[in-house]
Structure 1
Amino acid sequence: MPDAIILIPARLASTRLPGKPLADIHGAPMIVHVLRRAWEAEIGQAVVATDSEAVATAVEKAGGRAVMTRTDHTSGSDRIFEALEALDPEHRIHVVVNVQGDLPTIDPEDIRAALMPLADPAVDIATLAAPITDPAELTNRNVVKAHGTVVAPNRLHATTFTRADATGPGPHYHHIGLYAYRRAALERFVSLPPSPNEQRESLEQLRALDAGMRIDIAIVNSVPLGVDAPEDLEKARAMLGAKQ
């Protein structure tokens, strides 16, 4: 898509895994692995948005592009919007894909899948979810559950996202925090104050739903590993080592 861009927010601050964008995975920083997955998706330019000179240097050393952003952003969406405005002041880019910088095992096909709901002009934001197959996830508050109505094969119109236990008959879905925004939707989203539901659940996407924005969900087969702690980093090394 010539009018699409992938932006990868990355900051060094992390309480459980300090400096995690630069964590080594088989000789390359984690952020570089995420950037490679973005390149493999082949849906437009991929750029890292960071507040760290060290992260920017690592990205550029690997042949990638980074843009420096402010240090005071409270969310990845705020960071990517600043980066977008800096990269494209002429507003030629119309679709922005936000890929988290701690997903080194993300499948490039899944990144592409996030674009599909945006073929419907009624959709403001698209995201991903995968069927829950592990019963333990149904009652795990760290697993965000996506709820919606079926509008097409492998696509839901989101009604809510929650950390609460999944109840009732399935299928139940594990939300994956990767988003594809129409540019106008991203601009509106970052201008909105946090909503009560967002604050209650600590889920930023509820701000969009509360504001009447439409989010559709592309259903994919599996959940990528999010690296939040040292044990996750070891899993990522094992997974990516097996693919080499």
Structure 2
Amino acid sequence: MKILGVIPSRYASSRFPGKPLADIGNKTMVQMVYAQASKAKLLDAVYVATDHPLIEAHIKGFGGNVMMTSDNHRNGTERINELMNRLGDKYDAVVNIQGDEPFIKPEQIDLVCEAIAKSDVDIATLAKKISTEDELFNADTVKVVFNKKNRALYFSRQTIPFLRAVNQDEWLRTFDYFKHIGIYAYKTEILNKLADLTPSGLENAESLEQLRWLEAGYSIYVRETLMDSFGIDRFEDIEQALNKQ
């Protein structure tokens, strides 16, 4: 199976304009993500899909693969789908590597590649067991519950499940909670279908695109990872990111 890694990189973030080009140590954020993705053993190639000439020039400047895409896309899924369609039928699957996850591990990328290679998996993602109450009750930490076959039942910014008969300060010791690690892999033919879906009620309520797929009847395979990752949503997050180096 040939698998492409794509980093969607949009310049005009509402909370952090120019985020992909923000410096983290001695590299930009998008350069760090690209470097980590390039270390994955199961990716055949890595591309950045962007909507801005500054990002395009920056990627070319360090020798990376980049493609300019439309600035009308609503999300990274649509941006990646455009790139895949323009490349043609070269790849059987694609991994969506979030451009604001500079500490994504190559091993995590390989985990999701192994999952999407399964014949009965159309969409795959990762989850990690939650270890702190800060994560458990933080709305920026997306929680996921899945069934015994590792198929996602729901994603939420709320703490799920709610333990009715247990005090909240005992929840972590009573139940295994999982947070979503925002990396996805799709079979190429499924990506085309996902890109055509319209926003759904649950997606709009939680501001989580993957709920659109669940509402449309698609199955998401969840693989557990023991490794953490760290997304940068706001400028203030950079200081925490620097402390992780």
Residue 197 of structure 1 corresponds to 202
Aligned residues: 233
Tell me, what secondary structure is at the counterpart of 1:230? coil
Residue 85 of structure 2 corresponds to 85
In the TM superposition, what are the counterparts of 1:39-54 in structure 2 within 5 Å? 39-42=38-41, 43-54=43-54
Paired with 1:107 and 1:127, the residues of 2 have a C-alpha distance of 14
Once the 2 structures are TM-superposed, how far is the Cα of residue 22 of structure 1 from its aligned partner? 0.7
Selected match of 1:221 from 226, 232, 237: 226
TM-score, length-scaled by structure 1: 0.90
Paired with 1:69 and 1:28, the residues of 2 have a C-alpha distance of 24
- Deviation above 6 Å: which 4+ runs of structure 1? none
Q: Deviations over 1:79-104 (max 9, x none)?
A: 11111111x22x12110000011111
8 Å contact from structure 1 (residues 114, 128) kept in 2: yes
Residue 160 of structure 1 corresponds to 154
Paired with 1:186 and 1:230, the residues of 2 have a C-alpha distance of 31
Tell me, what secondary structure is at the counterpart of 1:122? coil
Q: Establish whether residue 121 from structure 1 lines up as the match of residue 115 from structure 2.
A: no
Q: Establish whether residue 179 from structure 1 lines up as the match of residue 184 from structure 2.
A: yes
Once the 2 structures are TM-superposed, how far is the Cα of residue 161 of structure 1 from its aligned partner? 0.8
Paired with 2:109 and 2:182, the residues of 1 have a C-alpha distance of 11
Q: Could you list the runs of 5+ residues in structure 2 that have no partner in the other structure?
A: 164-173
8 Å contact from structure 1 (residues 9, 98) kept in 2: yes
Paired AA for residue 203 in structure 2: E
8 Å contact from structure 1 (residues 96, 183) kept in 2: yes
8 Å contact from structure 2 (residues 108, 227) kept in 1: no
The 3 A distance-change label for structure 1 pair 235 and 84 is: same
Once the two structures are aligned, what percentage of the paired residues are identical?
A: 38
Paired with 1:117 and 1:171, the residues of 2 have a C-alpha distance of 22
Q: Could you list the runs of 5+ residues in structure 1 that have no partner in the other structure?
A: none
Residue 167 of structure 2 corresponds to none
Q: Establish whether residue 5 from structure 1 lines up as the match of residue 4 from structure 2.
A: yes
Paired AA for residue 60 in structure 2: E
Tell me, what secondary structure is at the counterpart of 1:150? coil
Q: Establish whether residue 239 from structure 1 lines up as the match of residue 233 from structure 2.
A: no
